[in-house]
Structure 1
Amino acid sequence: MNSHVEAVPEEEPASKRAFITLSVMLATIMQALDTTIANVALPHMKGTMSATQDQISWVLTSYIVASAIAMPLTGFVAARIGRKRLFLFSVVGFTFASVLCGAAQSLEQIILFRLLQGIFGASLVPLSQSVLLDTYPTEQHGSAMAMWGVGVMVGPILGPSLGGWLTEYYNWRWVFYINVPFGIMAWLGIAAYVKETKLDPDRRFDLFGFALLGIAIGSLQMFLDRGESLNWFSSLEVIIEASLAALTFYMFAVHMFTHRAPFLDPMMFKDRNYVVGLLFGFMIGVILLATMALLPPFLQNLMGYPVLDVGLLLTPRGFGTMTGMMIVGRLSGKVDLRYLVTIGLLLMIVSLWQMTKFSVDVTRWEIVWTGTVQGLGLGLVFVPLSTLTFSTLAPRYRNEGTALYSLVRNIGSSIGISLVTTYLSHRVQINHAVYAEHINHFNPALQDAVQKGVYDLSTTSGLVNLNNMVTKQASIFGYLQDFRFMMYVCIIMLPLLVLLRRPGASK
């Protein structure tokens, strides 16, 4: 097995802790914001770069794939060059790559610079989490994770509204330039206050293991990102990507448990809380961004809201998340964290259940309060879950443990978005076919609409209008079925709580 240096957190003065927390949170927000802020600017980039929809989607795909492949390297690189050096190098690289993205003049350039952004940004979130865990004593880990969680969860939630505002009033390039002040402040704070860790020069790099994991993650992300546009398994490219991902994941698992010095130390997986936390994190990832992928098109395409109004309607979800995290910060150490996770999951279930009742007549208030309740539930789940996951894990595993935790959550988000979008298109087709069966001369509602002049079935335009109405109703019901699917995911998570131990309950 790899040799490790045990990292025991030292007691830091409160003022120094505050500066460390602020600095790493800025880095976290910068990276988390970039996962969604560029989405709303894609149509404007498409026009500037004279690209097709399929071509411009690589702006997102390149970032996601590069970040996913580079993230598992965090533990090894931090052990060899030092966590602080890696942190500073990543902040500088991410900020500079953001400037290059904003200045890009062609599609090839922006895809290349987004690749660099993904590589440099991959380690920011796991490093910020491990720094905070080492900065605060064990009894304050709940509060530390609450502050860290604000950046991780609020960034993706506020990204679309901030990106829409910048694109509307300035230019799409500003969705990248906005990272510059965050990057400068984060670098100054980390350089001044974060301590360097001890190096582990004897740690060997398992190139074969990393290659297998990198190919597996890259193939999986490509499969998830390209599957919808290529009609999934009817495409040879998608079949190759799925097969390659399955084969290399299997080979990596066998290699990890049989090699003398594997890329990931399998001893981490002897910790029950950590393994259950990984599973929980994956499922939370499914919920976290899937709702944000569904609500904007639902509000814009079916409800007719402009993009800025959509951003404003979704913003309270972020405030609900921050409120939940502040509650966790105050209650940490005073109540069993598993109770907070239970309450959070129940709030998410209630919110999603209410969303299954949405219609074209849904009011702004209903959209706001269901989003706020869901955000509050996410805040109550995310932070205690992070604390419980690492409560019994040995400190020497924190760098690679946090990297794997972030990676699994990101993969969950990618799978979640692919699942809900594919399920939506599938259900819309089925719903349309079912509704169309009732469009006949024996339907009293249709007869009444024809008599009132709502539809003129003797003309082509009248038939088109009727078909558009059926498609709209089928789409609305498809979204509601997606919300119900996510509600079931939350219900499935509840029994997993019994597998989590309280901090200090196990050796």
Structure 2
Amino acid sequence: MSHGPGLSKPAVEVAAPGWLTASIMLATVMQVLDTTIANVALPHMAASLGASQEEITWVLTSYIVASAIATPLTGWLTDRIGRRTVFLGAIVGFTVASLLCGIATSLEEMVLFRVLQGICGAMVVPLAQTVLLDINPRERIGQAMAIYGAGIMVGPIIGPTLGGWLTESFNWRYVFLINLPLGIIALAGILVFLPQSATKERRFDVFGFAMLALAVGSLQLLLDRGQAAGWFSSLEIWLYLGLAISGMWVFVVHCWTARNPFVSLAMFRDRNFSMGLVFIFIIGMTLFSGLALLPPLLQNLLGYPVVQTGLVMAPRGVGTMISMILVGRLVARFDARLLVCIGILVTAWSLWLMSGFDVQMDSRPIILSGVVQGFGLGFVFVPLSTLTFATIAPQFRGDATSFFSLVRNVGSGVGISIVTSVLSRMMTVNHEELASRLTAAAPQVRLQMPQLLTASPTVAARVDGLVTQQAAMIAYIDNFLLMLLLTLAALPIVLLLRKPKAAGGAAHAGPAAVAD
């Protein structure tokens, strides 16, 4: 097939790359949606399944932990039984698991089916990235990563909106059942258009995988359970921390010394790939932390209903889509590192805008900051993905995309845990600070609020409510400023990324290289 004048050949020739890309991205959006779409339906699930509020959170935890553990398996399975077989199996498994979740009658069934859904869904995103890298000529890698990034970044934004609408208009079960038509369409497209890849003998390193699974699973449990368990005042959290550190240490030592390790550490010698992992970890913290903070701010503090919350957050996705369209074309013409810097600065600007939120504002500051942030993150994600995989050796691509997804997800877990803890802590601190200023001796009380001196319970309760509201808003602002600092901290990493050489300029660049 022709790829246009002047374009190099892709690593894998397909008959209809457009249709295949559409099918891949449908599967990707379906999987990414499920990381957030179920959140708003949890109270309804709890009532229907007879679970407590603490127990129902395992619907989310089971999916996250299973997905984290299964993600690194993708590269090995692809080498062993072929990319097409793994992709089809993952979509079938995810779709069937979604159906089972939609008809579950108990919490135990729901958690079991969510584990299956997490295992199958974990393979969809890295496989989608691998296929897009392989079926596009290197001059179009930037555009391919723009399409991929749109699915990855827009999915979590529209998830709560869609989940809230389905739950309120129909039933919480439709949060899962909506995956059936999407999965069938994606399955048909991949079945028709994706050719089978070559397989190779690759021994399964049971011990290496077990240690990595122990480390990743323990870390995810630590992050997910930390706030509820009281963090490091709890023996449970110390146990998770010890298992995570021990598992990762043994895994690295084993991969360094074993003859056929689960993952070859040689791929981490690629500087762009290693620095890209550090970068995507920070971006994962920033992107998903903001998404985790806004719904409770809008609903609990400003009184927005669920559907309106989703509508106010939706323009963030518009900003992302606009930037994806632009950067997909710019990344082949300009230094990708410059585009990443622009994206970081725009994202930091959006967080600065968010630090100006107040309890009396309308929706305009939320929409404006959301559009700006979506635009900035799009400018970061696409050139970063291009740079990360520009020089990685083709034989490492399957494992590399798996670790890229894994590190992004771990970063999001760390970020959400940090902002949740900071929010809880600062709400208490701010409340005490504000309340300490409302004493009988304070001039502002005597002159501006003399009614407080009457000690009326009604007046005191109203004032305490206002203090709590202001303390919460200040805590959110503290978090936005913290995310701003984290975002700017990523800037120096750009200096460690190398600009890929032009076509043919690097012997090892392979099909993933991009033109300057």
**Coarse TM-score class (shorter-chain normalised):** over 0.9
RMSD over aligned Cα atoms: 1.4
User: For each residue in 1:149-195, what CA deviation from the matched residue of structure 2 results, as whole angstroms up to 9, or x when unmatched?
Assistant: 11111111110111111111111111101111110111111111111
CA distance in 2, matches of 1:259, 1:157: 42
CA distance in 2, matches of 1:271, 1:362: 48
Partner residue in 1 for 2:261: 262
Partner residue in 2 for 1:3: none
Change (3 A) 1:362 1:88: same
For residue 464 of structure 1, report the CA deviation from its aligned partner.
2.6
For residue 447 of structure 1, report the CA deviation from its aligned partner.
2.6
Matches within 5 A, 1:69-148: 69-148=69-148
Matched residue of 1:190: which SS? helix
User: For each residue in 1:308-342, what CA deviation from the matched residue of structure 2 results, as whole angstroms up to 9, or x when unmatched?
Assistant: 11110000001111111111112231111111111
Matched letter for residue 77 of structure 1: L
**TM score, norm. by length of structure 2:** 0.94
Matched residue of 2:501: which SS? coil
CA distance in 1, matches of 2:115, 2:106: 14
Q: Is the 8 A contact 2:14 2:194 kept in 1?
A: no
Partner residue in 1 for 2:323: 324
Matched letter for residue 48 of structure 2: T
Indicate whether 1:458 and 2:455 are aligned.
yes
Matched residue of 1:228: which SS? helix
User: For each residue in 1:349-380, what CA deviation from the matched residue of structure 2 results, as whole angstroms up to 9, or x when unmatched?
Assistant: 11101111111122211110100000000111
For residue 36 of structure 1, report the CA deviation from its aligned partner.
0.3
Matched residue of 1:122: which SS? helix
Matched residue of 1:214: which SS? helix
Indicate whether 1:469 and 2:484 are aligned.
no
User: For each residue in 1:207-258, what CA deviation from the matched residue of structure 2 results, as whole angstroms up to 9, or x when unmatched?
Assistant: 1110000011110000100010111111111111111111111111111111
Change (3 A) 1:323 1:439: same
CA distance in 1, matches of 2:276, 2:487: 15
Partner residue in 1 for 2:66: 66
Partner residue in 2 for 1:312: 311
Matches within 5 A, 1:198-347: 198-201=198-201, 203-347=202-346
Structure 2: runs of 5 or more not aligned: 1-8, 509-516
Matched letter for residue 57 of structure 2: S
Of residues 496, 501, 504 in structure 2, which corresponds to 1:499? 496
For residue 466 of structure 1, report the CA deviation from its aligned partner.
2.3
Matched letter for residue 116 of structure 2: L
CA distance in 1, matches of 2:118, 2:467: 42
Partner residue in 1 for 2:55: 55
Partner residue in 1 for 2:11: 9
CA distance in 1, matches of 2:447, 2:212: 62
Matched letter for residue 291 of structure 2: M
Change (3 A) 1:10 1:49: closer
Partner residue in 1 for 2:4: none
Indicate whether 1:480 and 2:482 are aligned.
no
Q: Is the 8 A contact 2:231 2:237 kept in 1?
A: yes
CA distance in 2, matches of 1:175, 1:493: 36
Task: Please identify, of 182-191 and 458-467, the stretch whose mean Cα deviation from structure 2 is larger.
Answer: 458-467
CA distance in 2, matches of 1:464, 1:230: 30
For residue 10 of structure 1, report the CA deviation from its aligned partner.
3.3
Matched letter for residue 324 of structure 1: S
Partner residue in 1 for 2:512: none
**TM score, norm. by length of structure 1:** 0.96
Partner residue in 2 for 1:351: 350
CA distance in 2, matches of 1:10, 1:297: 45
Matched residue of 2:333: which SS? coil
User: For each residue in 1:260-303, what CA deviation from the matched residue of structure 2 results, as whole angstroms up to 9, or x when unmatched?
Assistant: 11111111011000000000111110011100110111111111
Change (3 A) 1:11 1:88: closer
CA distance in 1, matches of 2:454, 2:224: 41
For residue 426 of structure 1, report the CA deviation from its aligned partner.
1.0
Matched letter for residue 482 of structure 2: F
Partner residue in 2 for 1:180: 180
Matched letter for residue 286 of structure 2: I
Q: Is the 8 A contact 1:126 1:403 kept in 2?
A: yes
Aligned residues: 496
For residue 444 of structure 1, report the CA deviation from its aligned partner.
2.9
CA distance in 2, matches of 1:145, 1:8: 15
Matched letter for residue 223 of structure 1: L
Partner residue in 1 for 2:196: 196
Matched letter for residue 494 of structure 1: L
Task: Please identify, of 487-496 and 455-464, the stretch whose mean Cα deviation from structure 2 is larger.
Answer: 455-464
Task: Please identify, of 483-492 and 256-265, the stretch whose mean Cα deviation from structure 2 is larger.
Answer: 256-265
Q: Is the 8 A contact 1:342 1:381 kept in 2?
A: yes
Q: Is the 8 A contact 1:456 1:462 kept in 2?
A: no
For residue 8 of structure 1, report the CA deviation from its aligned partner.
7.1
Q: Is the 8 A contact 1:456 1:463 kept in 2?
A: no
Q: Is the 8 A contact 1:83 1:127 kept in 2?
A: yes
User: For each residue in 1:448-504, what CA deviation from the matched residue of structure 2 results, as whole angstroms up to 9, or x when unmatched?
Assistant: 4543x4x47423333232222222111110000000000001110111111111122
Q: Is the 8 A contact 1:23 1:187 kept in 2?
A: yes
For residue 61 of structure 1, report the CA deviation from its aligned partner.
0.1
Matches within 5 A, 1:288-437: 288-437=287-436
Task: Please identify, of 104-113 and 433-442, the stretch whose mean Cα deviation from structure 2 is larger.
Answer: 433-442
CA distance in 2, matches of 1:332, 1:220: 35
Change (3 A) 1:167 1:308: same
Partner residue in 2 for 1:162: 162
Matched residue of 2:229: which SS? coil
For residue 47 of structure 1, report the CA deviation from its aligned partner.
1.1
- Tell me the percent identity: 51
